[in-house]
Structure 1
Amino acid sequence: MQKFTLILLSLVLLAPLGIDLYLPTLPDIAQGLNTPVSTLQTTIPLFLLVMGLGQIVAGPLVDNFGRKPVALIGLLLYLFGSILAATATGWPQFLTARVVQGCAVCCTAVVAFSGVRDRLDGDDAAKAYGFLNGALNIVPALAPMLGGFLAESFGWRAPFWFLSCYALAVGVLVLFFLPETRPAGTLPVKGLPLKQYARILRQPRFLAFAFANAGALGMVLTYVSLAPQVLMNEGKLSALQFSVAFGANGFWIMLVSVLVNKMIRKVGRPVCLMIGSMAMTLGALLLFAGVALFPGGWQSHWALYMLPVTVAVAGLAFTVGPATSYALEPYQQQAGVASALAGFIQMAGGASGGLLVMALPIAEKSALGVMMLAGSVLIALAWIYSKKVRGTLTAL
């Protein structure tokens, strides 16, 4: 089971690597492609939006054709998209490459989370989801530094060549070592399963937990998108200092995720959701307090941004595992479809929320604080609903 989980992790890592590896190189890419940095920054939420929308199609595919074939197709697309980005000579080609990569990771993400649902239930599933999401934070901890080193040594195209090699290596692992986990009784899906999606969407339980994840992801997406502007342009951090601050926060989320995995069995998933909502609220209050209480000369200091973020992302760690397991538990025979729909709500909802608050005519820190409050409300609603569903699990 450990080898199986690690292979699923290698699939899940494709998404954060596609975001975090090239963050410190955005100015170099902008110069190389003669494109404004602000334009390139839109590829971050666009990548996640495509990933979310694509899962609506990928979900039926993994239920009809199996987890392994769809994973291999996704890896081929990722390889192609990475090569396209590495050889880009202009903005249109780079944009196309990011869209292709987004389509690729929607396949691999559905396979990974469907695989967990195929093998595990209840608290065990929550721990596995928490492990996958917690281990993901090794990527934002290390990827910016790796991307910066590769770009400094070999140019801004090097991170995308690295992604090409990674996709090829994971493809070999999947081809030879990933077992097919699709249950024998999986319901076949003809075309786009709109009726199945509609049936699942009518379940308040599913919506409560899926939107809790969307709120948490929206907060992280807003933080990541605004971090280069707040920390590098306003805070005057160098690329290396930015990578260290970004990476330290990633390790922090990983440590909190380990703690959550140990707490789930002792205190239960509802308590974890409650803590997640409280942490997100506290992060927002600290962010607004820093803006209101400190003089203007201090506003550009990195700590006034990163310390509230550190508190809020702990709420993410307490939320994702329990919320994902609660959302998918009733759908053993529809794991691919349910995982796809949950991923769509999480990715598309989080990306849309982040884009919305960033479009508001307010300062960057205020926009992040608003997204933190929205996430805390959604997680609180999930916590309230979690107290109603214990012991009442039924499959559709």
Structure 2
Amino acid sequence: MRNFTLLLLSLILLAPLGIDLYLPTLPDIALGLNTPVTTIQTTIPLFLLVMGLGQIISGPLVDNFGRKPIALIGLLLYVAGSALAATASGWPQFLCARIIQGCAVCCTAVVAFSGVRDRLDGDDAARAYGFLNGALNIVPALAPMLGGVLADAFGWRANFWFLAAYAVFIAALIALFLPETRPLDTQKVKGLPLAQYWNILRQPRFLAFAFANAGALGMVLTYVSLAPHVLMTEGQLSALQFSMVFGANGFWIMLVSVLVNKIIRRVGRPFCLATGAVAMTTGAVVLMAGVLLLPGSWQTHWLLYMLPVAIAVAGLAFIVGPATSYALEPYQQQAGVASALAGCIQMAGGASAGLIAMTLPVAEKSALGLVMVVGALLALVAWRVSQSVRGTLTSL
């Protein structure tokens, strides 16, 4: 089971690598493509928006044709998109490359979450999702530093050649070692399963947990999208300093995720959802208190941004595993479709929140604080719904 989980993790890593590896090089990409850096920043939420919407299509494909073939198709698309970005001569080509990468990741993400649902249930599934979420934070901890080193040595295009090489390597591992986990009684569909999607969307339980994940992701995506400007432009951090601060937060989420897995065993998933809501609320309060109460000369210090972010992303660690397992639990025979719909709501909803926050006529920290509050409210709704789900506590 450990090797199986690691293979799924290698697929999920394609998404954060596609974001975090090139964060420190955004100014260089903008200069190289003769495009404003604010325009390049929009490729972060657009990447996830495409990833979310694309899962509506990739979900049925995973159930119809199996997990392994769709994973390999996604990896080939990722190679193509990365190579296109590495050779981009202008903004249109770079944007097209990012869209192709988003389409690729929507395939691999559905395969990964369907694979967990195929093999695990209940608290075991929640711990698996929590492990994947925690391990994912190795990427924001290390990828910005790797991206900075590659860019310094070979230019920003080297980051995308690295992504292409990684996808080729993972494709070989998947082809050789990933078992096909699609259950024999999986319900196949023709075309887009609109009726199945509608039946799932009619379930308040599913919506509550899917939107809790969307709120948490929206908070993180807003933080990530605004971080280069807040920390490097306003805070005057160097690319290396930015990578270290950003990476420390990634390790922090990883540690909290390990703690969450232990807490699930003792007190169950509802407690984790409530804790996540409290953490995100606290992060918003600390962030706005710093903006409103501290002197203007302190406002550009990186701690006034990263300390409340660290509190809020701890809430993310408490929310994602339990909410994902609750959302997918009733759909063993529709794991691909349900995973796709949950992923679409999470990614598209989170990306939309990030895009809206970036366009609001308010300061960056105020926009992030608002998204934190919305995420906390959605987590609180999920906690209330979890009270009516039987079997949520693990015996002491």
TM interval, short-chain normalised: over 0.9
Determine the structure 2 residue equivalent to 1:185.
Answer: 185
Q: Which moved more, 1:71-80 or 1:30-39?
A: 30-39
Distance 1:32 1:369 in 2: 33
Determine the structure 2 residue equivalent to 1:159.
Answer: 159
1:1-396 map, 5 Å: 1-391=1-391
Deviation at 1:297, TM superposition (A): 0.6
Deviation at 1:246, TM superposition (A): 0.2
3-state secondary structure, aligned to 2:388:
helix
TM-score by length of 2: 0.98
Question: Which deviations, in whole Å up to 9, do the C-alpha atoms of 1:126-178 show, x marking residues without a partner?
Answer: 00000111100000000000000000001110000000100000000000000
Q: Are the counterparts in 1 of residues 214 and 345 from structure 2 also a CA contact under 8 Å? A: yes
Report the AA paired with residue 337 of structure 1.
V
Distance 2:360 2:13 in 1: 31
Question: Which deviations, in whole Å up to 9, do the C-alpha atoms of 1:5-35 show, x marking residues without a partner?
Answer: 0000000000000000000011111111111
Q: Which moved more, 1:353-362 or 1:95-104?
A: 353-362
Question: Which deviations, in whole Å up to 9, do the C-alpha atoms of 1:69-96 show, x marking residues without a partner?
Answer: 0000000000000000011111111000
Question: Which deviations, in whole Å up to 9, do the C-alpha atoms of 1:188-245 show, x marking residues without a partner?
Answer: 1110000000000000000000000000000000000000111001100000000000
Deviation at 1:357, TM superposition (A): 2.0
Question: Which deviations, in whole Å up to 9, do the C-alpha atoms of 1:235-273 show, x marking residues without a partner?
Answer: 000000000000000000000000001110101000000
Distance 2:205 2:284 in 1: 26
Misfit runs of 4+, over 2 Å:
none
3-state secondary structure, aligned to 1:388:
coil
Distance 1:378 1:355 in 2: 18
Distance 1:188 1:33 in 2: 44
Distance 1:97 1:359 in 2: 24
Deviation at 1:353, TM superposition (A): 1.2
Give the unaligned 5+ runs of structure 1.
none
Distance 1:284 1:391 in 2: 32
Report the AA paired with residue 185 of structure 2.
G
The percent identity for this pair of structures is 79
Report the AA paired with residue 313 of structure 1.
V
Deviation at 1:336, TM superposition (A): 0.1
Distance 1:36 1:253 in 2: 32
Deviation at 1:286, TM superposition (A): 0.1
Give the unaligned 5+ runs of structure 2.
none
Distance 1:359 1:93 in 2: 24
TM-score by length of 1: 0.98
Deviation at 1:354, TM superposition (A): 1.5
Deviation at 1:391, TM superposition (A): 3.8
Q: Are the counterparts in 1 of residues 42 and 355 from structure 2 also a CA contact under 8 Å? A: no
3-state secondary structure, aligned to 1:279:
helix
3-state secondary structure, aligned to 2:17:
helix
Distance 2:292 2:277 in 1: 23
Report the AA paired with residue 245 of structure 1.
V
